[in-house]
A and B are shown apart, each in its own frame.
Chain A
Amino acid sequence: MNPVVRWFHQLGSPPYFDRFAARWAPWAYALAVLVMAYGLWGALFNVPADYQQGDSFRILYIHVPSAWMSLFVFALMAFYAAIALIWRIKLCEILAMACAPIGAAFTLITLATGSIWGKPMWGTWWDWDPRLTTELVLLFLYFGVIGLYHAIDDRRAAARAAGLLAIVTRWCGGTRCTRARRSACSASRRWTPA
């Protein structure tokens, strides 16, 4: 068998993946710190101040990636959960449940940095327009998955149940709700930066 394919299959075994992760995690952290340091320097010092918003726009360099990540990690969690439920791959149950706190943290960062940006820009810490509201609902969905996972004693059944919840809510949120609400609600109220 092709060695790359074999390596990929071996990664599906939890003990093998555990050793792999233990070996490469410090390097991954180091790379992340380096890249984030460069990003922070670029956002805080290198980029010139915005001609309209001044220096308060710099927090968007954290806010926007956090927003992408919060949505992407939820989709990834649903994806792993689907693989775990359909093909019964144990590792994907662990990966799916590991995504939940990460995604919740990104969602919190998005909401917090968004509020901090919004106070000088829009004059308010919070508004109930569709984008903010859906991000808040996303936070509750993450908490729901985490809560359901910790409420069931058997770890594997818990991962499967919480994974099914992630799939169902990803389907609800990704299809009718988000797009329809944005088009329906923003048609009646348009928000522009003050």
Chain B
Amino acid sequence: MNTPSLFESARALLVRDLQLLWRRRGDALQPALFALLVVMLFALAMGGEPQALARIAAPVLWLASLLAGLLALDTLFRGDAEDGSLEQWLLAPVPLAWLVLVRVLVHWTTTALPLLLATPLLAELLHLPHAQLPLLLASLALGTPLLSLLGAVVAALTVGMRRSGILVALLALPLYVPVLVFGAGSVAAAAQGLDPTGALLMLAAGLVLALVLAPLAAAAAIRIALS
């Protein structure tokens, strides 16, 4: 039997994940709904006054995406860990890091991308100044894959643990802090008239590095967790 190529194995995993997701397509909306609820809670806590909301709109939207992504991490490996597919991944003829990368990218497409598409609507709810919206979307487009990749390492470290919810948050949030600083900071800098390019380039650099290194770290973590 021929060893499958990287592309063939990626396609197989992609098709499987999308088919599984399609059978429960309502689940794809849950991160977006969570972000909507977070936006609503912030708006109500601030008292709903448009001026005040407009000032905090970009950071709140960043936080909503970040927290929704954090909760979505639970579904990254759990299904496969429970039914034994993750152990089959360990035995696969393709590198484990490759499978992890494909899984994380599919996960991002199905959880963070709907959130990204919903962001303009959420921005309207918070009275975000229209000039900030393109930059906010750009920073989220660069930042959310980076958050998914970093979160994948943490999820891999805690895979198989039963009550790992708050531990995942405790481990992942310090790693998320730099991404949040650069992401929300780029929009804040632009709002003050400074150049946001530096922060965006830092996000892009981090994303490029994480695309290569995070799957390797997550693969090592899965091996440790399932040993």
> Closest residue to B206 on the A side, CB-wise?
A176
Is the CB–CB distance between A157 and B227 below 8 Å?
yes
Of B153, B161, B199, B209, which one neighbours A152 at CB under 8 angstroms? B161
Is the CB–CB distance between B174 and A137 below 8 Å?
yes
Is the CB–CB distance between B225 and A161 below 8 Å?
yes
Complex interface: chain B residues within 8 A of A148 (CB): 157-158, 167, 171
Is the CB–CB distance between A172 and B157 below 8 Å?
no
> Closest residue to A183 on the B side, CB-wise?
B198
Binds B, one of A27-35, A55-63, A110-118, A139-147: A139-147
Known: A168-B217, A176-B209. Contact between A140 and B174, CB under 8 A? yes
**Distance between B204 CB and nearest chain A CB, rounded to angstroms:** 11
Of the candidates B154, B158, B178, B189, the one having the most CB atoms from chain A within 10 angstroms of its own CB is B178
Cβ < 8 Å to A, chain B residues 119-177: 150, 153-154, 157-158, 161, 164, 167, 170-171, 173-175, 177
**Distance between A23 CB and nearest chain B CB, rounded to angstroms:** 33
Main SS of chain A's interface residues?
helix
Complex interface: chain A residues within 8 A of B164 (CB): 151
Distance, CA A161 to CA B222, complexed state (A): 9
Distance, CA A169 to CA B153, complexed state (A): 11
The reply on B224 being an interface residue by CB < 8 A is yes
Complex interface: chain B residues within 8 A of A168 (CB): 153, 175, 217
Cβ < 8 Å to B, chain A residues 147-175: 147-148, 151-152, 157, 160-161, 164-165, 167-169, 171-172
Main SS of chain B's interface residues?
helix
Complex interface: chain A residues within 8 A of B194 (CB): 188
Complex interface: chain B residues within 8 A of A157 (CB): 224-225, 227
> Closest residue to A177 on the B side, CB-wise?
B178
Distance, CA A171 to CA B178, complexed state (A): 13
Is the CB–CB distance between A165 and B171 below 8 Å?
yes
The reply on B118 being an interface residue by CB < 8 A is no
Q: Say which size band chain B's interface belongs to.
A: 20 to 34
The reply on A180 being an interface residue by CB < 8 A is yes
Complex interface: chain A residues within 8 A of B182 (CB): 181, 184
Distance, CA A149 to CA B128, complexed state (A): 43
Distance, CA A157 to CA B161, complexed state (A): 13
Complex interface: chain B residues within 8 A of A167 (CB): 217
Of B161, B198, B206, B220, which one neighbours A184 at CB under 8 angstroms? B198
**Distance between B66 CB and nearest chain A CB, rounded to angstroms:** 15
Of B154, B161, B202, B225, which one neighbours A180 at CB under 8 angstroms? B202
The reply on B39 being an interface residue by CB < 8 A is no
Distance, CA A85 to CA B175, complexed state (A): 21
Known: A168-B153, A172-B178, A177-B178. Contact between A160 and B171, CB under 8 A? no
Is the CB–CB distance between B157 and A165 below 8 Å?
yes
Complex interface: chain B residues within 8 A of A160 (CB): 224, 227
Complex interface: chain A residues within 8 A of B175 (CB): 168-169, 172
Interface contacts beyond A137-B177, A184-B198: sample of 10 additional A-B pairs, CB < 8 Å, sorted by A: A140-B174, A141-B174, A144-B170, A144-B174, A152-B161, A157-B225, A164-B157, A165-B157, A176-B206, A184-B182
Which positions in A face B, CB cutoff 8 Å?
85, 133, 137, 140-141, 143-144, 147-148, 151-152, 157, 160-161, 164-165, 167-169, 171-172, 176-177, 180-181, 184-185, 188
Q: Which 7 A-B pairs have the closest CB atoms?
A: A177-B178, A140-B174, A144-B171, A160-B224, A137-B174, A141-B174, A161-B224
Q: Can you show 18 pairs from A to B with CB atoms below 8 A apart?
A: A85-B220, A133-B177, A147-B167, A148-B157, A157-B224, A157-B225, A157-B227, A161-B225, A164-B224, A169-B174, A171-B213, A176-B206, A176-B209, A177-B178, A181-B181, A184-B182, A185-B181, A188-B194
